[in-house]
Amino acid sequence: MSTAVQICSNALLMLGDKPINSLSEDPNQATSDRELAAANLYPQVRNATLRAHPWNCATKRVVLSPDSQTPAFDWAYQFLLPGDWLRTLGVSEGGCRIDFRAESGRILADSSSLELLYIYRNENPATWDSLLVDAVTTAMAARLAIPVTNDRAKKVEMEGALLRLLQQARGVDGQDSPPEEFGDSPFLLARF
């Protein structure tokens, strides 16, 4: 089971530095500059890595009800995005994809209810795939490379390792689900 502290500690170890025992964003509570830097960078690195791919361990489905206010024009309804939303993967009604527009933390649509498939801010690394843990750890090492080592070559090395790791992790994660089927759309059936 991984934790945010373990991820940040392992990132520091990858850079040849000492691990940390906690994460504190409060400069008065942090025991070192490394801890403070890790605490400040970790949420953004985690969210960016989660948002970059439809990870199975960070995918959620909800049915949204419309907001009491309606859009000024073009769309009949608006829906507030969930508080843990990072990226929309699909919007549908009754299992059929529908047209929508994302604006200012809302989804606009002509449907009275929405089925939303999205990437959520999964803050519990213990529920992550091990390759996602490795990806976030390596991303943290890349982000911490300059503040910790002041070595641009180390940053470039970590970024290269991250790209290779993400490619592998995305491939493995994508194989955990069956391929998406397009259904019996009249447009697709007309082609055959």
Q: Angle 4-14/33-51 helices, nearest 10 degrees?
A: 110
Task: Give the number of other CB atoms < 10 A from CB of residue 92.
Answer: 15
Given a contact cutoff of 8 angstroms between Cβ atoms, the answer to whether 3 and 127 are in contact is no
Given a contact cutoff of 8 angstroms between Cβ atoms, the answer to whether 69 and 77 are in contact is no
> pTM for the full model?
0.84
Task: Report which secondary-structure segment, H or E, holds 147.
Answer: helix 130-149
Condensed to tens digits (0 to 9), the pLDDT of residues 22-40 reads 887 776 776 788 899 999 9
- Here the tokens at position 138 are 């390596």
- pLDDT (tens digit, 0 to 9) for every residue of the chain, 192 residues total? 799 999 999 999 999 999 998 887 776 776 788 899 999 999 999 999 999 999 999 999 999 999 999 999 999 999 999 999 999 999 999 888 999 999 999 999 999 999 999 999 999 999 999 999 999 999 999 999 999 999 999 999 999 999 999 888 877 766 766 555 655 555 556 665
- Here the tokens at position 83 are 């508080």
